Amino acid sequence: MLEDSSFAIHPGQKKQMQTPDYKEIGNVLKVVKTESGASVNTESGTLFIKFYRDDIVRFVLNPFGETTLCSSPALITDGEKTEVTVCEKNGQILLSSAKLQVYLEKSPLRITIADPDGRVLVKEGAKGMGFKESKEIICYKEMEPEDHFYGFGEKTGFLDKRGEKMTMWNSDVYAPHNPETDSLYQSIPYFMTLRNGFAHGIFFDNTFKTTFDFRSEETNYSFSAEGGQINYYVLAGPTPKDVLEQYTFLTGRMPIPPKWAIGYHQSRYSYETEQEVRELAKTFIEKGIPLDVIYLDIHYMDGYRVFTFDKERFPNPKQLIKDLKEQGIRIVPIVDPGVKEDPEYYIYQEGIRGDHFCKYIEGNIYFGDVWPGNSAFPDFTSSKVRKWWGEKHRFYSDLGIEGIWNDMNEPAVFNETKTMDVKVMHDNDGDPRTHRELHNIYGLMMGESTYSGMKKQLNGKRPFLLTRAGYSGIQRYAAVWTGDNRSFWEHLQMSIPMVMNLGLSGIPFAGADVGGFAHDSNGELLVRWTQVGAFIPFFRNHSALGFARQEPWSFGEKYEKAIKKYIELRYQWLPHLYSLFAEAHHTGTPVMRPLMMEYPKDENTYNLSDQFMVGDNVIIAPIMQPSVQHRVVYLPEGNWVDYWTEEVFEGGKHHLVKADLNKLPIFIKQGSILVHGSVKRSTAIKDEKLTLHLYYGKSTSSSFKLYEDDGSTFEYEQGNYLRKIFHVKCTKDEISLTISDEGSYKPEWKEIELIVHGAPENFALIINGQEKSLQKKENNWRTVIC
């Protein structure tokens, strides 16, 4: 109560900046070379320095006991054997790999990390690493005036987190989501620093509550944890894409999603009956609005018991799912972790008999209040429990379900702390740890369980999982939506940097509820939000019970028309987007990118929070204010073409552009390629033909990797895919296009038509060395290229 009153800023409340019991690690006593690094004895325990690759180095130290090289489940690798030399230089110890140099100053211990040219990435100055009596551990690093910070998973506020202080503690926050809301549903203790156009990363793999502080001191930043080891990885960069490749080498990349998962999704808390779901699908079909997924929120269940259907509301789910699938529409049901305490309910019975629920050290089960009432929670830190829970999903897969929605998996509990008692002891496969230590990975482990279970049961088909909570590595199992936003223009604005930073945190498949979850949406907001959603990786319209309905037709014909246009546009762009998802799978580079990722030397991009890129050649500059039809757009170097009018804009400049309600400003870089399919009512309908749009630009070159596979199985892992690589080079009067194929997949489409935009009269088109003729149609030139 007092926290909400002025008492909160009572002069007596002022906290001391420096907690007096902070202790430094102290001096280096001895250094011993190890296989891929060194073991360093310090006054406060052993520091292991281990290279995972030439461009990734890990530092681990436990000031309270023996240091171990154990990792959290975020890690998918123990690293590659790396050639490292250790020597003494000017009184310092130097460890070097081909790409990184680690200098240790001995008294007191101070670490400096540089590249082979001496460019400093990470440096400890007045302060280094330390700890407190409370078992808190903390690392200080120097902060340069030029530094900008990105990543941190799911955070409110703008793109660049300089000046912020952020806590990682998975939290169910219904409201508010505003600039001072700190912890949300995800904990990604990782960030990227951009300094003078060069990037490097730090992944602080500690599952306790962690804090990243870029606010309290002028020349240092810090990252700290309530417990556990000092345990972080430095990623060398030097480009933002390199950092993501390095981070996802450690924590994994997203699988290629089933194609249906990147279509348009419609949700509501809740579509409550079979009848309502059928009518919803029918309306989409009648109105010709494309749709791939309908969600079932908590009302489908029998008394909120997971792995059940309410027999009255959903008398025949199997038939419903079958009928909808024939229309190209899939059903994704919600599955929460809480299992109702009910001795007559089979999941509860199995959970008790199999000893699958979280317990106190004394042996009593932890119960918490969630939707079904008093509930027990599966202990997902145990592989035995994950297997059991995963297998339970046969209930859904037998009904024809291929996607699952995990909510409340922070875990959320209806009590003062909003979560499980931190004293609960997780089994952790025989290495028991408190909930305080493992809270942040509960959602990740539930994701592993659900994804693996579904994958097994789908006989080679790709499952889809949507999750609210997660920790580093969650991208291996799930797409992430940003939880309970509201139908506020401010939340539309906030979703752009939030989803961009998720992408910069290794989670490319993310999105916010289109239209806003709580509060009443309105026609104009829903149109503008759908325009954004169409280009955001995860595209779902969702809204809460008790608020205005939010289906595309909810606000009248004028708005419906505009909304339909942008859902259709999503489908037209799917081959392009799918190719970018494949790139995310292979390299970790996100689909939706901040401009700084492509233009890291351009300061104008560093905190650009209201524009984004799709791939490396498309800029989306949405309108995100009511009654506004103009906005400023920043275009970086090069020339840019308005997607709708083909007007050319010079880069390196700000422009004022007009965009009435029907227009989402989209700019394509001159010299680059876009691939389109056709508008369709669901991804179940295959493209017969693709269109390759080439935007001529004098003295430019670019490339695009068109990716295609069956869209539904894991055969791509065996090489059954097609990657068509297009290289374009434009000179004054010539466009040369080279096309090469990789992989064995034979696509459904039989033809690619090339449309050249903005070329000079009488240009020559050379494809793989051969001149090819074109036909002029309106202002463009066309020809079939394969």
Active site residues: 407, 410, 484
Q: Where are the beta strands (DSSP E) in 464-561?
A: 464-467, 470-471, 479-481, 510-511, 540-541
Distance in angstroms (rounded) separating the CA atoms of residues 409 and 395: 20
The C-alpha angle with vertex 457 and arms to 451 and 458, in degrees rounded to 5, equals 85
Residue from the set 51, 103, 269, 471 that interacts with ligand MIG by CB under 6 A: 269
Distance of CA 496 to CAs 513, 592, 676, Å?
A: 12, 9, 24
* Phi, psi values for residue 499, rounded to 5°: -75, -30
Please report, as residue ranges, which positions from 494 to 533 form the binding site for ligand MIG (by CB under 6 A). Answer: 517
Please report, as residue ranges, which positions from 364 to 423 form the binding site for ligand MIG (by CB under 6 A). Answer: 407-408
Instruction: Examine residue 317 and say whether the peptide bond preceding it is cis (omega within 30 degrees of 0).
Output: no
The C-alpha angle with vertex 346 and arms to 345 and 350, in degrees rounded to 5, equals 125
Provide the pairing of β-strand 101-105 with 653-658: unpaired
* DSSP states of 236-305: --SSHHHHHHHHHHHH--PPPPPGGGGS-EE--TT--SHHHHHHHHHHHHHHT----EEEE-GGGSBTTB
Distance in angstroms (rounded) separating the CA atoms of residues 495 and 609: 9
Residue from the set 24, 297, 427, 568 that interacts with ligand MIG by CB under 6 A: 297
| DSSP H or E stretch at residue 521 | none
Closest contact distance (angstroms) between CB of 335 and ligand MIG is 10
Closest contact distance (angstroms) between CB of 463 and ligand MIG is 20
Strand partners, 359: 365, 425
Strand partners, 492: none
Q: Classify each residue of 322-353 as buried b or exposed e, where b means 16 or more C-beta atoms within 10 Å of its C-beta.
A: eebbeebbbbbbbbbbbbbbbeebebbeebee
492 binds ligand MIG (CB under 6 A): no
Closest contact distance (angstroms) between CB of 172 and ligand MIG is 7
Closest contact distance (angstroms) between CB of 309 and ligand MIG is 16
- Closest CB to ligand MIG among residues 412, 532: 412
- Closest CB to ligand MIG among residues 340, 564: 340
Counting residues that bind ligand MIG (by CB under 6 A) gives 11
Closest contact distance (angstroms) between CB of 174 and ligand MIG is 6
- Closest CB to ligand MIG among residues 517, 612: 517
Please report, as residue ranges, which positions from 136 to 195 form the binding site for ligand MIG (by CB under 6 A). Answer: none
Closest contact distance (angstroms) between CB of 513 and ligand MIG is 7
- Closest CB to ligand MIG among residues 234, 544: 544
Contact 323, 296 (CB under 8 A): no
298 binds ligand MIG (CB under 6 A): yes
Contact 551, 266 (CB under 8 A): yes
The one-letter code for the residue type at 649 is: F
Closest contact distance (angstroms) between CB of 406 and ligand MIG is 10
Please report, as residue ranges, which positions from 321 to 350 form the binding site for ligand MIG (by CB under 6 A). Answer: 334
From residue 65 to residue 104, the character string flagging contacts with ligand MIG as x (rule: CB under 6 A) and all else as - is ----------------------------------------
Closest contact distance (angstroms) between CB of 407 and ligand MIG is 5
Closest contact distance (angstroms) between CB of 718 and ligand MIG is 37
SS (H, E, C) 424-465: CEECHHHCCEEHHHHHHHHHHHHHHHHHHHHHHHCCCECCEE
CB count in 10 Å sphere of residue 17: 7
Closest contact distance (angstroms) between CB of 487 and ligand MIG is 13
Distance in angstroms (rounded) separating the CA atoms of residues 174 and 253: 29
Instruction: Examine residue 108 and say whether the peptide bond preceding it is cis (omega within 30 degrees of 0).
Output: yes
Contact 721, 709 (CB under 8 A): yes
Q: Which residue has the tokens 């556990």?
A: 228
Distance in angstroms (rounded) separating the CA atoms of residues 263 and 683: 7
- Closest CB to ligand MIG among residues 437, 484: 484
Distance in angstroms (rounded) separating the CA atoms of residues 345 and 571: 43
Closest contact distance (angstroms) between CB of 544 and ligand MIG is 6
Distance in angstroms (rounded) separating the CA atoms of residues 530 and 743: 35
The C-alpha angle with vertex 594 and arms to 509 and 75, in degrees rounded to 5, equals 45
Closest contact distance (angstroms) between CB of 484 and ligand MIG is 5
- Closest CB to ligand MIG among residues 124, 297: 297
- Closest CB to ligand MIG among residues 439, 486: 486
Please report, as residue ranges, which positions from 472 to 491 form the binding site for ligand MIG (by CB under 6 A). Answer: 483-484
Q: Where are the beta strands (DSSP E) in 463-587?
A: 464-467, 470-471, 479-481, 510-511, 540-541
Distance in angstroms (rounded) separating the CA atoms of residues 105 and 90: 10
SS3 call for 620: strand
The one-letter code for the residue type at 30 is: K
- Which residue is at the shortest CB distance from ligand MIG? 269
Distance in angstroms (rounded) separating the CA atoms of residues 290 and 571: 8
Distance in angstroms (rounded) separating the CA atoms of residues 186 and 204: 15
Distance in angstroms (rounded) separating the CA atoms of residues 753 and 114: 49
Q: What is the DSSP letter of 216?
A: S
- Closest CB to ligand MIG among residues 371, 640: 371
Closest contact distance (angstroms) between CB of 171 and ligand MIG is 12
Contact 292, 263 (CB under 8 A): yes
Contact 357, 379 (CB under 8 A): yes
202 binds ligand MIG (CB under 6 A): no
Please report, as residue ranges, which positions from 542 to 561 form the binding site for ligand MIG (by CB under 6 A). Answer: 542
Chain residues that interact with ligand MIG, rule: CB under 6 A? 269, 297-298, 334, 407-408, 468, 483-484, 517, 542
